[in-house]
Amino acid sequence: MKTPIRAVIGLALAISASPVYADSKAEIALMKKVFAEIQPLSFKRNREYCGYIGYDFDGNLVASEARRGRKSSCRPRDPVELEVIIASYHTHGAYNNDEGSEVPSVEDMEGDEAEGIDGYVATPGGRMWYVDTEVMEISQICGVGCLDQDPDFVPYGDVGIETSYTYDELVSWFNE
């Protein structure tokens, strides 16, 4: 008799004292693939695109279909294809000469924390960030040009963008 994947994952989550994470290399590879598909649309339409990654009913690491959002926000649909959600993802739209679009926002971090998941953010400059809500810190997985860049992106002021921020540092950075 086959044990349903839902029961196995549920038992693992119930027993585990810490969150269940996918292999980080697999997550990053999946996110690079997803962002390669949606970054060009995000630039062209100047809209955020968002979704979730997690495990499907067969235990495979997959991404939900991306949803088109607004210029500076996006709310993913409930991912019926995912059994377990482990992280959100979203783009930051087109380049707008605002250094803040190159860093996940305080609201990005708070939104993921409220959902009890981590997150991935792609910027117009081609950076990919990881939002770790367990320690409330963001860190660059890769810098400018690692992902597709908005054709209008102009690198400037990168000296003011660190490779990681705690929640409090992020709040201070956006208030400067």
Q: What domains are there in the chain, each with its CATH number?
A: 5-175 (3.40.140)
Contacts 24+ apart (CB under 8 A), 169-176: 170/103, 170/104, 170/105, 170/106, 170/109, 170/138, 171/106, 173/103, 174/100, 174/105, 174/106
In the block, tokens 């292999």 appear at 23
- Give the predicted TM-score (pTM) of the model: 0.85
- Residues 126-173 have pLDDT tens digits of 999 999 999 999 999 999 999 999 999 988 755 578 999 999 999 998
CB 120 within 8 A of CB 128: yes
- For residue 122, which phi and psi values (nearest 5 degrees)? -110, 135
- Residues 26-39 have pLDDT tens digits of 999 999 999 999 99
